[in-house]
Structure 1
């Protein structure tokens, strides 16, 4: 394949949304990447232009991401770059998405605690594990799985939320 892979360093700009789709669970969030340049005249770092990307994380990565990441946290995102054009409200718009392969906290800007997924947790179905990441359309618009009877589903599967709760209490401290 001739996919364009990128690695971005930036901050989570929106809350992570998680949903189940016909091709498996997917999480998405907006990611802000701001260029920083050394301004010799002022003798200080200056912010440049901010670019925004929509990051999609499928299957287990999406579940773990939804249980671990909050708005404002610094991340490193590695994945496939997808540029798509759509016509909305009579105007041609361009969207830049990242299909994430790996996501982690930027440890140059703070600390975090890692915890492996416990082996006894429910596994994803074979269809979810082998799902196709979609075509050129927005994967978020994929048809959701039919609702089940009973209480409204949690954005994060209960088995993951119960095990991940201590993980969400990690502390990111600014580096002096």
Structure 2
């Protein structure tokens, strides 16, 4: 069973990026998700609290997040929830961590531009319909340059 959670919120801290000794890229940030409810007496929407999450991304997703996401951006995060209790003297609490499988800008709040990332290492796939297997998938772009390919450009 895979427990996935989708959270909409804003990036509350500047994303931090590091690479482990094993070469694994990790990018993390704090995500604030504001709950809203309709106040029938005032006939307006009001804030009903904020849930805070520590979001971690790994490998290619981490590299793309550090190049795309900034503090204050509205995002959608899909990932696995991990909760851990902590205690420090009289203080106790629960950390809520979200290991992201997918992450993107929330287009309800603005626009974004997508650029496909071309990786220098070869990508193998078992799917014969996968564009990574087609020789013309990177036509007109330097496949080993690491520069993004503008997929929105006309053919």
Shift of 1:22: 4.0
Specify the alignment match of 1:33 in structure 2.
33
Deviations 1:44-96 (A, max 9, x none): 11111001100000000011001100111100000000001234457443100
Find out whether 1:4 has 2:3 as its counterpart: yes
Contact 1:36 1:48 in 2 (8 A): yes
Q: 1:108 — aligned with what?
A: 108
- Which residue of the partner structure matches residue 128 of structure 2? none
CA-atom RMSD in angstroms: 2.3
Q: CA–CA distance in 1 between the matches of 2:31 and 2:10?
A: 6
Query: TM-score, normalization: structure 2?
Result: 0.73
More strand by share: 2
Alignment partners' CA distance in 2, 1:89 and 1:36: 34
- Match of 2:42? 42
Gaps of 5+ in 2: 123-144, 151-155
Distance in 2 separating the partners of 1:101 and 1:86: 25
**Alignment partner, residue 118 of structure 2:** 118
Q: Distance in 2 between matches of 1:16 and 1:122?
A: 25
| Whole-Å separation in 1 of the counterparts to 2:6 and 2:32 | 13
Pick the structure with more helix per residue: 1
Deviations 1:119-141 (A, max 9, x none): 4x357xxxxxxxxxxxxxxxxxx
Relative to the length of structure 1, the TM-score reads 0.65
Is the aligned partner of 1:52 residue 2:52?
yes
Partner of 1:65: 65
Question: Equivalent residue for 2:74?
Answer: 74
Retained in 2: the 8 A contact 1:19–1:27?
A: yes
- Max Rg structure: 2
Residues of 2 paired with 1:84 and 1:41: CA distance?
A: 39
Structure 1 moving runs of 4+ over 6 Å: none
